[in-house]
Amino acid sequence: MTVDSIGVARIDLYLTHGAGFVRSPRYGDSKMRPIWSGALTFGLVNIPVRLHSAVQSKERVSFRLLHKTDLSPIKYERVCEKEGEAVDWKEIVKGYEYAKGKFVVLTDDDFKAAAIESTKTIEIMDFVNAEEVDPRYFETPYYVLPAKGGEKAYALLREAIKRTGMVGIGKITMRTNSLHLAGIKTVGDAIVLEIMRFAGELVDVGDFSFPSDTGVRPQELQMAEQLVQNLAESFDASKYTDDYRANLMKIIRAKMKGKKIEVAEPEERKSTQVVDLMARLQESLEMGKKAASGRASRGTTTRAKRASRRKTA
């Protein structure tokens, strides 16, 4: 929830999923305006660079909180729990709760004392094998572009990273001296900086209990592997659409026209039991074969049409 300048409560619904999404400043002009400018260094090589966001948010669906009876906007107030009265901003301080109901108050001077010295340099401290880095560490990507005079050194670093299969690890300060761990990698002809999580931010996998493979029979594993192969496709991000957002906008447009919305109850799928696991695998394989056959047929038809057009031309 965000609060606008007149104190009206708003809810901004970002119809994207996954921990990797971070809202950036207005994306309308972010493609042209860098969000950070400085230098990228490795060894004694210094490359002047600028960062641009590598992701863009969809047009967000923004909601206002309204009074149900008359649809008047609801104002946000900062109410003291003890007194039950609204508190002015100038009377509010920041406190760290170290125990239930126990706080340490931090002042502006405290935050200044803790601040990391702002620097305009991303120093690559280490190069590590890309396969050794847990993907959970990576969070938000930015394109790194060379500033004038840094083109050759930029290309040199990019090709070196490509050929060695390494990821550069460094640190960067962004926005109010906030320190971030950063990974330097390549995507095609681009160097990409990804903000990374520190080790303490990841939940230890040992905190959970996962099933072992002792009960998996060889024939079941063989059929499951075959099913995976039957469903194998080249990755095409454009085929995976945000159906929830599309449905929500469809409902909003319908309600704007005064139409009644019929909501269908979702079908709840039951978990596949051990007794019929083999049967389900076999059925899945048959379905996968039919789907693969259909894709192959469509591909043949498409190629034939293209060949026909070339002959006609």
How much is the pLDDT for 7? 42
Residue that wins the pLDDT comparison between 7 and 160:
160
* Cα 121 from Cα 47, distance rounded (Å): 9
What's the mean pLDDT when you consider all of the chain?
80
Going by pLDDT thresholds of 50, 70 and 90, the confidence category of residue 24 is: very low
The answer, yes or no, to whether residue 10 has pLDDT greater than 50, is no
Residue 152 to residues 36, 45, 97, 156, 288: CA-CA distances in angstroms? 21, 11, 51, 6, 49
CB-based burial label for 266 (10 Å; 0-12, 13-18, 19+): exposed
Going by pLDDT thresholds of 50, 70 and 90, the confidence category of residue 26 is: very low
**Pairing verdict, β 36-42 and 121-129:** parallel
Long-range interactions of 280-285: CB distance < 8 A, separation 24+: 281/220, 281/223, 281/224, 281/227, 282/223, 284/227, 285/223, 285/226, 285/227, 285/230
The answer, yes or no, to whether residue 93 has pLDDT greater than 90, is yes
The answer, yes or no, to whether residue 50 has pLDDT greater than 70, is yes
Residue that wins the pLDDT comparison between 69 and 60:
69
pTM (2 d.p.): 0.66
Q: Tokens 């890309």 correspond to what residue? A: 130
Residue that wins the pLDDT comparison between 255 and 73:
73
Going by pLDDT thresholds of 50, 70 and 90, the confidence category of residue 201 is: very high
Q: How many CB atoms lie within 10 A of CB 153?
A: 18
**What pLDDT digit, counting tens, does each position of 162-196 carry?**
999 999 999 998 876 688 999 999 999 999 999 99
Question: What's the DSSP call for residue 91?
Answer: G
| CA 7 from centroid of its chain's CA atoms | 30
How much is the pLDDT for 14? 33
Residues 15, 58 contacting (CB under 8 angstroms): yes
Domain boundaries, the chain: 2-60+114-201, 216-227+276-313
What's at 48, amino acid-wise? P
The answer, yes or no, to whether residue 297 has pLDDT greater than 90, is no
Residue that wins the pLDDT comparison between 20 and 309:
309
For 2-60+114-201, CATH number? 2.40.290.10
**What pLDDT digit, counting tens, does each position of 237-287 carry?**
888 888 878 888 888 888 888 888 777 776 766 655 555 667 777 787 777
Query: Residue 231's closest CA among 288, 293, 278?
Result: 288
What 3-state class would DSSP assign to 107?
A: coil
Query: Residue 198's closest CA among 222, 171, 235, 238?
Result: 171
Phi, psi angles (nearest 5°) of residue 110: -65, -40
Residue that wins the pLDDT comparison between 72 and 33:
72
